[in-house]
Amino acid sequence: MPNAAGNVPAGPVDQPLPLARGYAVFGSDSGHQSLRPPAGASRDGSFGANLEARRNFAGDALKKTRDTAVALIGAYYGREVQRTYFAGGSTGGREALLAVERWPRDFDGAIALYPAWNAAVLNLHFGRMTRALAQPGAFPGLPQRQALYKAALQACDALDGVEDGLISHQAACDTSFDPATATVGDQPLRCAPGTSGDGCLTDAQIAAFKVLNTPTVPTFTLPSGEKNYPGLTTWGTDFGFAVPNPAQSAVLTLGLGTDAPSAYPMTGVGLASLTGVATSPPYSSTFWDQWVRYFVTDDTMFNSLALDPERPGVWQQRIVQLIELQDANRTDFSVFRARGGKLLLAHGVHDALVSNRATQQFVVRVRKTMGDAATASFLRYYEIPGYGHSVSNQFGAAWDSLTALENWVERGVAPMNQVVADTVGVPGRTRPLCEYPSWPRYQGTGDVNQAASFSCATR
């Protein structure tokens, strides 16, 4: 269950929490409970064997929870709820989009962070990643991941006008960076043929990282109209390596973990640890394994590595049905917009689990459906360089999104000059929140740790 006394995802650290701001706060367990110990709870898909729990997770729990909460709040306070806002990240971000898509009259605004909106299609990419990482010699250790990160930073950090430890012009980096030809310091990132080492990547490891970075393209038609899952932003992303930082264990868990995926059912996973006391296969691999066994095949002993996510054969129609059930694919928000609803979206550029490129695709599809002007009247989408999936060692995001949403919904004041603060990498530094497709570019003068020294650029 969410912590009702907590903050919104990536919320500000210098403002009162929602409960202290006078909100009645409610949340849900998405309609199911984990049957395993807490360490593996978020990666336990066994609830999928229950059809009602499966539908709850796909969105039904949102309406059930909202209606029950509104009735209880009304009974307790003796008056009707005036406005309802939704805030969530990851699966909660998907749920935020589902809430305002399916029940636009029930919610006045939403904050969706790093949303796994196309969760089933994302699972297909997880499957392709898992199969690649399971190949002999393909799984990179912590030193190899760190070498790749350093090589990307060396090549791409200054593309935004300043070397500040953040890759802000990611589009340029994606165009120019190739791990097969990159360097770390003055040494090639690619290991010499027939060799391996902590400071370099073998050809098998480079091939695996390129699978992470490139689109997964099913041979069948996706019901959403998408053509692919666009791959993870890989160059410059922390997939978990050995650094003395309290956040790194969580980063490692949400990244590639400690162990290569294998054919056994991936159960008994724990929090990945820098000390090696607890071990974990990649978070994404466990998701794929659980989804295949409890959602796709209904076979608890099915070898998920045997299922090709791009060519699933006899399981194709089942996967199409799950995409239709789980994913927040609607792009027409006309009813929500007409009644004054507002939507704030944000995604870390360097998310190791859910791709910011997928959120880009979603926003582009909404603009195509509704038009640029109509979309701008109710939706903002920002990208945050260096920020990972809810946690990061590069840039820990803190943004007062709730105030921005209140001002837009309740006062008609659209978000302008939004700023995000870092709580981890360089605590206290700030950057402008740039609306996609723009990115923060250093203006050439001023304190590199202040947002005022940057402008939002498109070229």
Q: For 187-297, where are the E strands, in sequence order?
A: 187-188
250 pLDDT exceeds 80? yes
Residue 459's pLDDT band (cuts 50, 70, 90):
confident
Please report whether residue 53 resides in a domain.
Answer: no
Please report whether residue 30 resides in a domain.
Answer: no
Distance CA 216, CA 142 (A): 25
Convert 366-404 to b/e letters by CB count within 10 Å (16 or more is b). Answer: bbeebeeeebeebbbbbbbbbbbbbbbbbbbbbbbbbeb
What whole-number percentage of the chain has pLDDT above 90? 88
Please report whether residue 72 resides in a domain.
Answer: no
Of 310, 325, 340, the position where a domain reaches its end is 325
Residues 6+ apart with CB under 8 A from 147: 184, 189, 198, 199, 200, 201
Residue 268's pLDDT band (cuts 50, 70, 90):
very low
Please compute, for residue 47, the number of CA atoms within 13 A of its CA located in the half-sphere on the CB side: 20
Mean pLDDT, all residues of the chain? 94
Task: Give the mean pLDDT of 374-401.
Answer: 97
310 and 356 in a single domain? The answer is: no
Task: Give the mean pLDDT of 40-54.
Answer: 87
Of 275, 293, 325, the position where a domain reaches its end is 325
Neighbours of 264 (CB within 10 A): 13
Q: Quick one: pLDDT at residue 247?
A: 84
Backbone torsions φ then ψ of 322, nearest 5 degrees = -70, -35
Residue 339's pLDDT band (cuts 50, 70, 90):
very high
Active site residues per annotation: 90, 351, 389
Task: Give the mean pLDDT of 389-404.
Answer: 96
Q: Quick one: pLDDT at residue 78?
A: 96
Of 272, 301, 325, the position where a domain reaches its end is 325
289 and 374 in a single domain? The answer is: no
Neighbours of 352 (CB within 10 A): 27
85 pLDDT exceeds 50? yes
111 and 182 in a single domain? The answer is: no
* Residue predicted with more confidence, 39 or 59: 59
Question: What is the tens place of the pLDDT at every residue in 296-315?
Answer: 999 999 999 999 999 999 99
346 and 386 in a single domain? The answer is: yes
Residue 316's pLDDT band (cuts 50, 70, 90):
very high
What range defines the domain where residue 97 resides?
Answer: 18-24+81-117+331-457
Q: Quick one: pLDDT at residue 266?
A: 59
Question: What is the tens place of the pLDDT at every residue in 274-289?
Answer: 555 467 899 999 999 9
Q: Quick one: pLDDT at residue 245?
A: 79
Question: What total number of domains does the chain contain?
Answer: 2
Neighbours of 63 (CB within 10 A): 15
155 pLDDT exceeds 90? yes
404 and 424 in a single domain? The answer is: yes
409 and 428 in a single domain? The answer is: yes
Distance CA 115, CA 93 (A): 4
267 pLDDT exceeds 60? no
Please report whether residue 43 resides in a domain.
Answer: no
Q: Quick one: pLDDT at residue 277?
A: 47
Radius of gyration of the chain (CA): 22
Question: What is the tens place of the pLDDT at every residue in 88-134?
Answer: 999 999 999 999 999 999 999 999 999 999 999 999 999 999 999 99
97 and 133 in a single domain? The answer is: no
Q: Quick one: pLDDT at residue 265?
A: 57
Give the Å distances, CA to CA, from 197 to 190, 194, 200, 235, 237: 10, 11, 6, 20, 20
404 and 265 in a single domain? The answer is: no
CB 119 within 8 A of CB 327: yes
Please report whether residue 261 resides in a domain.
Answer: yes
Task: Give the mean pLDDT of 408-430.
Answer: 97
Give the Å distances, CA to CA, from 171 to 34, 232, 388, 404, 418: 39, 13, 17, 27, 22
303 and 405 in a single domain? The answer is: no
CB 88 within 8 A of CB 402: no
CATH of the domain at 105: 3.40.50
CB 266 within 8 A of CB 278: no
Residue 3's pLDDT band (cuts 50, 70, 90):
confident
109 and 130 in a single domain? The answer is: no
Question: What is the tens place of the pLDDT at every residue in 218-247?
Answer: 999 998 888 999 999 999 999 998 877 778
Please report whether residue 300 resides in a domain.
Answer: yes
Chain center to CA of 417? 24
What whole-number percentage of the chain has pLDDT above 70? 95
Residue 168's pLDDT band (cuts 50, 70, 90):
very high
Task: Give kind and range of the element (H or E) at residue 107.
Answer: none
Q: Quick one: pLDDT at residue 248?
A: 85
39 pLDDT exceeds 60? no
Q: Quick one: pLDDT at residue 69?
A: 96
Please list the residues that pair with 146 across neighbouring strands.
none
Please report whether residue 128 resides in a domain.
Answer: yes
Is 405 exposed, middle or buried, given 0-12, 13-18 or 19+ CB atoms closer than 10 A?
buried
94 and 151 in a single domain? The answer is: no
Distance CA 274, CA 268 (A): 18
253 and 293 in a single domain? The answer is: yes
Residues 6+ apart with CB under 8 A from 395: 166, 348, 384, 385, 386, 387, 422, 424, 425, 431
Please report whether residue 228 resides in a domain.
Answer: yes
